[in-house]
Homo-oligomer: A and B are copies of this chain.
Amino acid sequence: MTEDELIAAISDIVGTPGQAVKLGIGDDAALWQPSRSRRSVISTDMLVEGLHFELDAMSREDVGWRAMAANASDLAAMGARPVLATVALGLPASTSLGDVLELYRGLAACAAGAKLAIVGGDVSRSSALTIAITVVGEVRASDVKTRAGGRPGDVVAVTGALGAARAGLELTRGRVGIREDLEAAALLAFRRPEPRLAEGRFLAASRNVNAMMDCSDGLSTDLSRLCGASHCGAALERIPVADSARAVAEQRGEDPECFALAGGEDFELLTAIRPRAFENLAGRYRRRFGRELLRVGVLGPESGITWNGAPLERSGWDHFA
């Protein structure tokens, strides 16, 4: 059973939601309609110690930051303005009050940067530290972008180079050593990822962006999800590899592009853009953010993803595969 199969089976049981719900299970977030012109966006993520993070690789403050960033990234992927968050914590019996507050300092720091108000939640005992966050945002009805709007011919682009978070993870495991400045960049990407909220709202406001999602499970997995939802395929042309990821991959004797393709939690945005509008949008993006909107390939009519002409295996993260 893969995670995607599980979600499909769950969707069958849950059924079709009523009229106020504009988008249900299966995208980065769900949508409902509190008023005619507005959409509210909601998304939930659960992180479990030992599976999503290790407490010997990062501080509780970093764990909190990253958990909140992962959720804020789902709002970014919908082009939404962050509004609020709730936090449910499962705490092992060994957790001290100081531990909880350290975790919360990370949650609160990231939330403050994203303008998310933490408004409530729950605390419970559990065997491993467990963090379930729900975030709510708002977006203009006309700006909503989902995974499903991609069309053959669209340019596939990402908001930044990939693989840095995975490089940071490898570095915390002490298996590799790279140049000091690259190490610092990788550790920052891993421990304190910045959700692309402003970029998401900028891209969502463009009529030429047909589909958008965040890269949380690795480009190979996430692009395959975007293609599945959009009923098309894709040809990858080049993989933008973060410098730190290239250094770590080379040290490990791995192909840097494969390393970056499989590396999750970069939280860059993955978009499908009308081909004739791409250059102009990329130029406006560069002037606005001082960084590149990076073309990685093109959508095609036939299902499946190719890279260098050969079929690409999904190599990203799947909790259930």
Given contacts A18-B117, A21-B119, A138-B34, contact A86 B42 (CB under 8 A): yes
Question: Chain B residues near A121 (CB, 8 Å)?
Answer: 25, 44
Q: Which residue of B lies closest to A134 (CB)?
A: B134
Given contacts A1-B97, A101-B10, A122-B132, contact A34 B30 (CB under 8 A): no
Cα(A3)–Cα(B121), bound, Å:
12
Total identical chains: 2
Given contacts A25-B119, A90-B48, A123-B3, contact A42 B101 (CB under 8 A): no
The tally of residues in A whose CB lies under 8 Å from a CB in B reads: 71
Cα(A91)–Cα(B156), bound, Å:
34
Q: Does A253 sit within 8 A of B, measured CB to CB?
A: no
Q: Does A47 sit within 8 A of B, measured CB to CB?
A: yes
- Interface pair B126/A130, CB less than 8 Å apart: yes
Given contacts A90-B48, A97-B1, A136-B42, contact A24 B124 (CB under 8 A): no
Given contacts A30-B84, A88-B132, A120-B24, contact A9 B101 (CB under 8 A): yes
Question: Chain B residues near A27 (CB, 8 Å)?
Answer: 120
Question: Chain B residues near A45 (CB, 8 Å)?
Answer: 88, 122
Q: Which residue of B lies closest to A115 (CB)?
A: B18
Cα(A6)–Cα(B98), bound, Å:
10
Q: Does A14 sit within 8 A of B, measured CB to CB?
A: yes
- Interface pair B9/A124, CB less than 8 Å apart: no
Question: Chain B residues near A21 (CB, 8 Å)?
Answer: 83-84, 117, 119
Q: Does A174 sit within 8 A of B, measured CB to CB?
A: no
Which residues 20-65 in A have Cβ within 8 Å of B in the complex? 20-21, 23-27, 29-32, 34-35, 38, 40, 42-48, 51-52
Question: Chain B residues near A31 (CB, 8 Å)?
Answer: 119
Q: Does A100 sit within 8 A of B, measured CB to CB?
A: yes
Question: Chain B residues near A117 (CB, 8 Å)?
Answer: 17-18, 20-21, 24, 32
Question: Chain B residues near A9 (CB, 8 Å)?
Answer: 97, 100-101
- Interface pair B90/A42, CB less than 8 Å apart: no
- Interface pair A122/B44, CB less than 8 Å apart: yes
- Interface pair A124/B51, CB less than 8 Å apart: yes
Q: Which residue of B lies closest to A96 (CB)?
A: B1
Q: Does A158 sit within 8 A of B, measured CB to CB?
A: no
Which are the 6 A-B pairs with shortest beta-carbon distances?
A: A30-B119, A132-B132, A17-B117, A34-B34, A46-B88, A134-B134
Q: List 25 A-B contacts (CB under 8 A).
A: A3-B123, A6-B123, A13-B108, A14-B104, A18-B117, A20-B84, A24-B117, A24-B119, A31-B119, A32-B83, A34-B34, A42-B134, A43-B86, A44-B87, A44-B88, A44-B121, A46-B88, A46-B122, A48-B90, A48-B124, A51-B126, A88-B88, A123-B320, A125-B319, A136-B136
7 other contacts beyond A15-B112, A47-B124, with CB at 8 A cut-off?
A10-B123, A13-B104, A34-B40, A42-B136, A88-B132, A127-B127, A136-B136
